[in-house]
Amino acid sequence: MKLPEGVEWGLHCAAHIAQYDDAGPVTRRQLAEQFGLPEAYLAKHLQAMVRAGLLTATPGPRGGFRLARPVDQITALDIIEAIDGGASPFVCQEIRQRGLGAADPVDCQRPCAVNAIMAGAHQAWRAQLKKVSLDQIVRSIPPAIRARTAARAGLATDRP
Amino acid sequence: MKLPEGVEWGLHCAAHIAQYDDAGPVTRRQLAEQFGLPEAYLAKHLQAMVRAGLLTATPGPRGGFRLARPVDQITALDIIEAIDGGASPFVCQEIRQRGLGAADPVDCQRPCAVNAIMAGAHQAWRAQLKKVSLDQIVRSIPPAIRARTAARAGLATDRP
């Protein structure tokens, strides 16, 4: 199983936007340039985060993206599920009801043991990511990197 | 992210083999017929479980697959990782070191915060699946389904 690369982009972009804080919205181009990402493809993921209520988008030349909620009220899980959806990586095909050994539907009213185990593991994964706020992610970024971002944000606000 | 369907096949086949217990090895064809699976494709996953030390394969007309370890010493995680590998679904591309905002390598000696968070979630997923033994999976199968399998195993052993 593999998560799409957009998950990494979304987490880093959200953390970047969070650092800009009151310096104003961050444009799609700034985000793409910051991390060397393809702008058109990044746009899709930024829009997904807008639809999920994590970012707000302001149109126009001074427009861009800001956090839609306080930084401590956005979780890593929110961002990941905005981009990749919330489905479990395990898709149960109910093979216990197929083939020569097919179980009787009356014996399959409770979810399959295998499916239940996989759902439990997915919940453990989700619970772990729900515990991590975007605020924590930003605070985990080394000070030197944060200072560099702050300097860039300063420059951005000085420009027309 | 999505797990390959082979994970479901592997878990069900291992649980099926475990139920045959002392009735002898279960052939690839029996397993494929039991769940209505494509035999040639299933073979790949059974071989992966042999390579991982979970199953033993005996060649010949009376040959087939048996558990290589006691049923309580095989975990759901063992089976899943035998089939899908043990890699995290999150592949860090170190985008913090790319683009115009590229962080200095000297500031990137510790793993990226995003990567560390994703690794933690993967460990939570693994830990959950490591807690579940194949024995527990078998015991979670409804008695009626287990009785049916036992009857089929009995038939299999009566045949030459």
CB contact under 8 A, B90 and A9: no
DSSP element (H, E) containing A55: strand A55-58
For A120, which of B99, B114, B128 is closest by C-beta distance? B128
A152 CB neighbours in chain B (<8 A) are 101
As a whole-number percent, the residues of chain B with pLDDT over 70 amount to 96
Q: What is the ipTM of this complex?
A: 0.89
DSSP element (H, E) containing A65: strand A64-67
pLDDT at residue number B36: 94
Q: What is the pLDDT of residues B82-137, one digit of tens each?
A: 999 999 999 888 888 888 888 888 888 888 999 999 999 999 999 999 999 999 99
Question: Three-state SS for A24?
Answer: coil
pLDDT at residue number B157: 39
State the residue range of the domain holding A78.
6-85+133-158
pLDDT at residue number A20: 84
CB neighbour list of residue A79: distance below 8 Å, 6 or more residues apart: A7, A10, A11, A14, A49, A54, A134
CB contact under 8 A, B36 and A95: yes
CB of A3 within 8 Å of a chain B CB? The answer is yes
As a whole-number percent, the residues of chain B with pLDDT over 90 amount to 65
Question: Three-state SS for B87?
Answer: coil
Calculate the dihedral angle through the C-alpha atoms of B11, B12, B13, B18, rounding to the nearest 10 degrees: 90
CB contact under 8 A, A114 and B108: no
CB contact under 8 A, A107 and B145: yes
Q: A91 — phi, psi (to 5°)?
A: -110, 110
Token pair listed for A92: 């149960």
Q: Identify from B17, B29, B30, B114 which residue to disrupt to test chain A contact, counting A C-beta atoms within 10 A and taking the largest count.
A: B114
Kindly report whether the global pTM for this prediction surpasses the value 0.80: yes
Q: Mean pLDDT across chain B, nearest whole number?
A: 90
CATH code of residue B138: 1.10.10.10
**Tens-level pLDDT at each residue, chain A (160 residues):** 899 999 999 999 999 999 987 788 999 999 999 999 999 999 999 999 999 999 999 988 778 999 999 999 999 999 999 999 999 999 888 888 888 888 888 888 888 999 999 999 999 999 999 999 999 999 998 888 888 888 877 644 433 3
Residues 33-62 of B with CB under 8 A from A: 33-37
For A114, which of B1, B4, B12 is closest by C-beta distance? B12
A113 falls within a domain: no
A149 falls within a domain: yes
Question: Hey, which bits of chain B come out as E strands?
Answer: 55-58, 64-67
CB contact under 8 A, B98 and A36: yes
A124 falls within a domain: no
pLDDT at residue number B158: 39
Our count of domains for chain A comes to: 1
pLDDT at residue number B20: 84
pLDDT at residue number A157: 40
